[in-house]
Each structure stands twice: as structure tokens, then as C-alpha cells.
Amino acid sequence: MVLNPVISKLSGKLVVLASSSPRRLEILRNAGLRFEVVPSWFKETLDKRLFKAPHEYAVETAKQKALEVARRMPIKHLKTPDMVIGADTIVTVDGMILEKPVDKQDAYRMLSSLSGKEHSVFTGVAIVLCHEKDDDEVDYQLIDFYEETKVKFADLSQDMLWEYINSGEPMDKAGGYGIQALGGMLVEYVHGDFLNVVGFPLNHFCKQLDMMYNHCSFINPEKTESVYDSHSTPILIEQKDTSTSIPKPSSPSASPLHKVKKKDRESEANINSLSKQDAGEIKLHNSETAILRSREGAVTDHSEPQKGDLELIYELMDGFKASKALFTASKFCLFDVLHKKPGLDAEQIAQEIEASVKGTETLLEACVSLGLLKTRDTRRPKPGFENADVASCFLRSDSRFSLNAYILHCNDTLWPVFSHLESAVREGTSQRGKVKASTEICQEAKLRFMHAMHSSAKVAAAAVATAFDLSSYKTACDVGGCTGAFAYELTKTHPDLSVAVLDLPAVVEMSGPFQRQHADKRVTFKAGDFLKDELPKADLYILVRILHDLSDEKLHILLRRISDACTPGCGLLLSEIFLDENRSGPSRGLLQALSMSEGKQRSAAEYSRLLKGHGFITAQVKHTNNLLDAMLCTKA
């Protein structure tokens, strides 16, 4: 595809997406781009009235998002990206700009205004290139552009609109619909780039990279900042800025990025002609087919291997080595040692962890290459080592968001299970039985498992607890809540809420250390089997990482029992890894499915349909960009 000739030029560079949109992540990852996600903190409060055209508003918002991340990362993240990509998608109809609805009524207002009409979807994109200088200053180059796609809605009945709104899908989508999922049923036709409506104009983006790296000489890493405004009109400005704050422009032309000098118009004509050549009408009989066509049309066979593709394959082949390096370092308490005694050299660390000097030195260097450790005093004959920020946050056993216990669980339990993956795939069954024969099953092992679940739950708990406004609920039941990690986070976030944690008697008996650690009287524990015993009465029932592990039979038994316990208006808070609608990601959920448990990983829409069958209407869906996503439903 168009991206392949430039992917090698991005290899080894730190490319950052200043967006948490799962749609943009999927589109760019499917294109083969490797990047990190750093959501922008820019408040999207630009005054729409100050912009002459809708696309100017989208472009300016994208620009401010990308620049905020580009300027923040060297200071807050202690690393300077090579490229930051920002994007903003809006829908316009009858002169109005529609962004994400704030509630169901707002979603109804938006969708009603689109019914039976053709509207425009604009995505503004900004690419910021960062150049670090010898004096620790950073020069920024900026390229921005936009894409417009025309979409026509069918005439929609009120019942159809509310059925779609109650699915929860509109709540985080510009214009209140997702064309790649259930929203595709609302659409009669599309003129232009389908992926632009999904959230990112991949074709236009690829052509921009091709222009930047293969056909243009305007990129100057020394002193110029390059800008494409509007539909990719190339302009040049001079810019040097190391501030971390972004001034809000009083008007679209007031930003310091718009002091311009016009360049040759020929490239604009070339880009416009390419856009027209590739533009077309997609009749949406099946939105998933449209996505596949748009991807297949962008793929080209290459007789020579592409460097980016080759690196991806090698990264996958070596992935188990990286995992085992992390597991081994955690097993040796390496990150705890360096937290207490930062700056130790390899020989000193070897003494601390009681390992060979050669083995320790090799492990340390591997952890540095993985970004888990940093070296310091490199001019010394024996350089010292210290934890990287990510290790201080997640890998120390005593940090608030420590994943240490879960990492050890992965090493001791999941690693042996996945070593039988070939048999699991061939048989379609879990291989835990083969591992149990050689694994000690005792009270201590069960307690280690609970610590593992508690450590991973703590990391996701805050994001799920703050995903929705739960102030209308006073009592909750955390079904299968194990150590109460989510319950404690919920009461911290919602002080008026009391939570009963329901789990098996053996689990409740061993949860004493976790209860004493928090000592919150609003959280109580009840012993029982949620498939057999009476459920505590509550206004809100909570299911965190429960449904994906249950067989269809057990799943329906549990949901039927919860439904029977609920009165109309009761809530159900579901938290799982939500797969994409076409089951292409996220890979974490799909790889977990390889354990071949009796359950199934699902998308948000699949969970929504499942719950609807038991009388629950999805009110909101939240992709948290944490370990787990969340869905809030109400009993009809």
C-alpha cells in the first residue's frame, strides 16, 4: 500500500498517536504503522463560531491535540517523540457541527437532524515532526490537512432511532453513530473515503507521508515548520517553541502557526487529482464488507520483504523472550532492589539477587533495551542501573499500581499453560489439567492467585469506577468480586455507595489480608455461589471479568438470576475487554482467548445484545484505554 514505501523511514522512530479512539488505533495498526498512544490533554473548547468553515475547526482541534502531546512528552514523559499524529472528526449538517453526544437526548437530537439527509464527515489531521537540538530545545514541523466524506442517512423512524441509541453505541461517536458497527444500518450511501467516517482518512494520510518522505524537499529539521492547511495546501513557516502550554486562538488565524509563505501550487493539484481518482461511492449493504474492500484496495504485493513487516514478525517471534525477561527480573525482585538502591552496577546487583555476574549483566541490558531500566554514569567503567518510570509505577512490588503479583502469576501459571498451545488449538480445550499435575495446589498457591487478581484489578479499577456517574445508586453487589479491589475503588469514588462482595466461601475466608489493608466499613463480604445461592439485594450489580470465563449455560443462569433480583431501573455495571466489532483486536483479548476456557471474548455490541435478552438496556459504553472497558446497563 501507499504507506509501505515510507514505513522503513519510520522504523526506529517514536511515533505517537495523540488520541485514545479505538477506531483510529485499529485503522493505523492495520496499515502496519507501529506507534505509542498518548491521549492529548487539550480541552476541546474552541469556539466554533470563529471558524469560517467546519473543516477549519476540525483541523485546528487536531493541531492543538498533536502539539499539546508533542510539547508535553519531553517534559512529562522524559522522551521526545519523532512524530505525533492528532485527529479530530466532526459531522456537519445544515450548517451545524455535531461532535459526541453528551447524553441520550443529545444523541436523539443529532440523529434526528441526520435522518433522510446527506451530511458531511470531516476529519482534520495534524502531523507534528519533532527535532531535538543540541541545546535541549525542540523544533517542531507541522503538516495538517482534512478529508471530507458525504454520507446519506435513510428516513429513520423514532423507534429505530431509540433502539439504536439504547444500544449505547452513539455515546462516544461524532454525530452519534458508528458506521463500522450497528450505525451502518442507518446509512443509504457514502461518497468518498469510508475510513474517514470511521475516524481516520488512511488514504489521504498515506499520501501525505509519501509526499513528505519521497516527493518533497520542504521538510527541514533545522529551523522550518511545515504546514499543510485546508485540503493539503503546502505552506512554510519558521518556528521554534519549547513551551508546554497551548494558547487558545481567538480566531482561526490568530494561532502563531499561521504566519505563512505560499509555496508552489503544483503539489496541491497533484494531491487533489489523486483524491478525485480514488473517490467513489460505496453502497453500504454490509459495512464490514466495505471495510474489507477499503483495506484490500490499499494492499500491494512486494517481491522484496518490507523492513517494517520483517521487524513486526521478528518482534512476534521474540516476544516470548521479552516476556520471560520481565518474569525473571520480577522473580529476582530486581525492580525492588533498584528502587531501594538506585545506581548499583551489574556486579553489585548480582550480589543482591544472588545470581551470576554474567547472567545479571545480560538480564540488565535486556531490561534496558525493553525500556524497563535506565543506565546512568555511563562514562564509569561499570555503569549503574535504575528503574525507568514504567518500572517504578507498575513493577515494584510496593507501588500503588504494582502488577508484580500478576506478573509472577503469568510466569508460574499462564506460561506453563500456553506452552501446550498447539494441543489446545488441536483439541479446542483448556490445557490447565496437564499443568495441574505438576503444579502444587495448596492454600499458599491460592493466596498467590488472589494477590495476582488483586494487583491487576487495582490497575483497572479506577478507570472503571470513574467511567460513569453512579450517584443514583446507593447499594451495589460485586458478583465474584474476589478480594474487593473494585469494591474499594467504587466506594472511594462514590462515597454514598455501599458494596457487598459475593464470592465462594474459600475466597471470602482468604480475603482477610485485603480487608484489613483497606478497612472500609462500606465494603462487606458475603460467602456464596453466584450460580446457586441467593444474591444480595442491590440497586447496582457489578460483573468484572466474569462473563468471558463462563460457558453459555452458566452465563445465562447468572444473568437470569441477576435479572430476577433486579427491579426496573436497577443498574448492571459490566467490565470486560471489549473486542472490536470485526474481532480484529485488541490483541490482548484475542490472545487471552487462546487459553481455551469454556467462555468467550466478545465485543461491546455482543455483550449489549446478550444483556438485552435478559431485560437490560445498554445506557453507556466506555473504552477506558486501561486494562478493561466498561458498560452501564439498566433493567427495563
Whether residue 579 contacts residue 590, with contact meaning beta carbons closer than 8 Å, is answered with: yes
Co-location of 366 and 509 in the same domain:
no
Average pLDDT in the 388-409 region? Answer: 91
Whether residue 229 contacts residue 59, with contact meaning beta carbons closer than 8 Å, is answered with: yes
In a domain, 417, yes or no: no
pLDDT number for residue 303 = 52
Number of domains the chain contains: 3
H/E run at residue 560? helix 552-565
H/E run at residue 458? helix 443-465
Residue 381 has pLDDT above 80, yes or no: no
Task: Check residue 232 and report its DSSP letter.
Answer: T
Q: Up-side HSE of residue 74: CA atoms within 13 Å toward CB?
A: 22
Task: Check residue 80 and report its DSSP letter.
Answer: -
Residue 277 has pLDDT above 70, yes or no: no
Task: Check residue 602 and report its DSSP letter.
Answer: -
142 burial class (0-12, 13-18, 19+ CB within 10 angstroms)?
buried
pLDDT number for residue 178 = 83
Quick one: which of 295, 485, 312, 290 has its CA closest to 405? Answer: 485
Cell representation of residue 155? 428516513
Quick one: which of 61, 67, 38 has its CA closest to 239? Answer: 67
Domain assignment of residue 390, given as a range: 318-399
Chain-centroid distance of CA 523 in Å reads 30
Co-location of 109 and 221 in the same domain:
yes
Q: Up-side HSE of residue 39: CA atoms within 13 Å toward CB?
A: 10
Residue scoring higher pLDDT (76 or 203): 203
Three-class DSSP category at 62: helix
The Cα–Cα gap between 518 and 388 comes to 29
Co-location of 284 and 354 in the same domain:
no
Co-location of 274 and 389 in the same domain:
no
pLDDT number for residue 544 = 95
Flag the least confident range among 276-280, 313-317, 452-456.
Answer: 276-280
Residue 147 has pLDDT above 70, yes or no: yes
Residue 274 has pLDDT above 60, yes or no: no
Per-residue pLDDT tens digits for 157-214: 888 889 888 888 888 788 888 888 888 888 888 999 999 999 899 999 988 888 887 7
pLDDT confidence bin for 337, thresholds 50/70/90: very high
Helices and strands in the chain, H and E counts: 26, 20
Whether residue 197 contacts residue 190, with contact meaning beta carbons closer than 8 Å, is answered with: yes
pLDDT number for residue 6 = 66
Three-class DSSP category at 392: helix
CB atoms within 10 A of CB 514: 19
Flag the least confident range among 20-34, 281-295, 453-467, 620-634.
Answer: 281-295
pLDDT number for residue 10 = 77
pLDDT confidence bin for 22, thresholds 50/70/90: confident
pLDDT number for residue 228 = 37
pLDDT confidence bin for 583, thresholds 50/70/90: confident
In a domain, 458, yes or no: no
Residue 262 has pLDDT above 60, yes or no: no
pLDDT number for residue 46 = 85
The Cα–Cα gap between 335 and 329 comes to 7
Mean pLDDT of the chain: 81
pLDDT number for residue 44 = 77
Q: From 399, 427, 445, give the residue that closes a domain.
A: 399
Co-location of 525 and 379 in the same domain:
no
The Cα–Cα gap between 164 and 176 comes to 10
Catalytic residues: 88
pLDDT confidence bin for 443, thresholds 50/70/90: low
Average pLDDT in the 462-477 region? Answer: 92
3-state SS track over 522-542:
CEEEEECCCCCCCCCCCCEEE
CATH number at residue 134: 3.90.950.10
Co-location of 158 and 286 in the same domain:
yes
Whether residue 545 contacts residue 601, with contact meaning beta carbons closer than 8 Å, is answered with: no
Whether residue 345 contacts residue 363, with contact meaning beta carbons closer than 8 Å, is answered with: no
The Cα–Cα gap between 422 and 628 comes to 28
In percent, how much of the chain has pLDDT > 70? 81
Flag the least confident range among 19-23, 234-238, 335-339, 504-508.
Answer: 234-238
pLDDT number for residue 221 = 42
Average pLDDT in the 111-132 region? Answer: 91
In a domain, 382, yes or no: yes
In percent, how much of the chain has pLDDT > 90? 41
426 burial class (0-12, 13-18, 19+ CB within 10 angstroms)?
exposed
Residue 243 has pLDDT above 60, yes or no: no
Per-residue pLDDT tens digits for 485-534: 999 999 998 999 999 999 999 899 888 888 877 778 899 999 999 999 99
The Cα–Cα gap between 183 and 190 comes to 13
Q: From 399, 431, 453, give the residue that closes a domain.
A: 399
pLDDT number for residue 477 = 97
Co-location of 301 and 346 in the same domain:
no
Residue scoring higher pLDDT (335 or 177): 335
Average pLDDT in the 555-583 region? Answer: 94
In a domain, 149, yes or no: yes
Average pLDDT in the 539-543 region? Answer: 97
DSSP 97-131: EE---SSHHHHHHHHHHHTT-EEEEEEEEEEEEEE
In a domain, 411, yes or no: no
Q: From 291, 311, 331, give the residue that closes a domain.
A: 311
H/E run at residue 13? none
The Cα–Cα gap between 180 and 284 comes to 10
pLDDT number for residue 267 = 33
Co-location of 498 and 364 in the same domain:
no
Co-location of 574 and 556 in the same domain:
yes
CATH number at residue 363: 1.10.10.10
Quick one: which of 44, 195, 193, 170 has its CA closest to 112? Answer: 170
Quick one: which of 348, 354, 331 has its CA closest to 386? Answer: 348
Three-class DSSP category at 502: strand
Residues in CB range of 451: below 8 A, 6 or more apart: 405, 409
Per-residue pLDDT tens digits for 601-633: 999 999 999 999 999 999 899 888 788 999 999
Residue 250 has pLDDT above 50, yes or no: no
Per the rule left: phi > 0, alpha: psi between -120 and 50, beta: everything else, 393 is: alpha
Residue whose grid cell is 471495510:
291
Residue 237 has pLDDT above 50, yes or no: no
Residue 555 has pLDDT above 60, yes or no: yes
CATH number at residue 587: 3.40.50.150
Residue whose grid cell is 469506577:
465
In a domain, 440, yes or no: no
Co-location of 298 and 347 in the same domain:
no
In a domain, 425, yes or no: no
Residues in CB range of 81: below 8 A, 6 or more apart: 14, 15, 16, 36, 38, 69, 70, 73, 130
In a domain, 404, yes or no: no
pLDDT number for residue 424 = 87
Co-location of 25 and 166 in the same domain:
yes
Co-location of 261 and 351 in the same domain:
no
